[in-house]
Amino acid sequence: MLHDWDDDTCVELLRRCRAVLPATGRVLVIDAVIPPGNASHPAKIVDLIMLTALTGRERSEAEFRTLFAAAGLRLTRVIPTHSMLSIVEGVPI
């Protein structure tokens, strides 16, 4: 889960994963993904908690895409689950 960490720390964690990832490997991040728009979503409430209690936060798909790119990864898909969490998949660039 990356939501515990600020962006710079997340990029460093993802870079370390990328460094040992085979060319055909993939990185899976299990985290809440904030949907676009103003509709209610549990991740938005958790985001407020994270912003006040820790240095982390919840992120949108676009924000995950930016983190992954900075670490040498390409976000390939976001897989929803039956919970608030999704699986964010990335592959080496």
Q: From the candidates 1, 2, 3, 35, give the one annotated as an active-site residue.
A: 3
pLDDT band at 35 (very low <50, low <70, confident <90, very high): confident
Report the candidate in 54, 46, 76 with the shortest Cα–Cα distance to residue 10.
54
pLDDT band at 42 (very low <50, low <70, confident <90, very high): confident
Q: Is the dihedral of CA 68, 73, 74, 78 positive or negative?
A: negative
Q: Does residue 38 have a pLDDT over 90?
A: no
Give me the CATH code for the 7-92 domain, please: 3.40.50.150
Q: What is the mean pLDDT of residues 52-73?
A: 92
Whose tokens are 């992120």? That residue is 59
* pTM summary value: 0.88
The answer to whether 3 is a known catalytic residue is yes
Beta bridge partners of 88: 29, 78
Question: Between β-strands 85-92 and 59-60, what pairing exists: parallel, antiparallel or unpaired?
Answer: unpaired
Q: Does residue 45 have a pLDDT over 80?
A: no
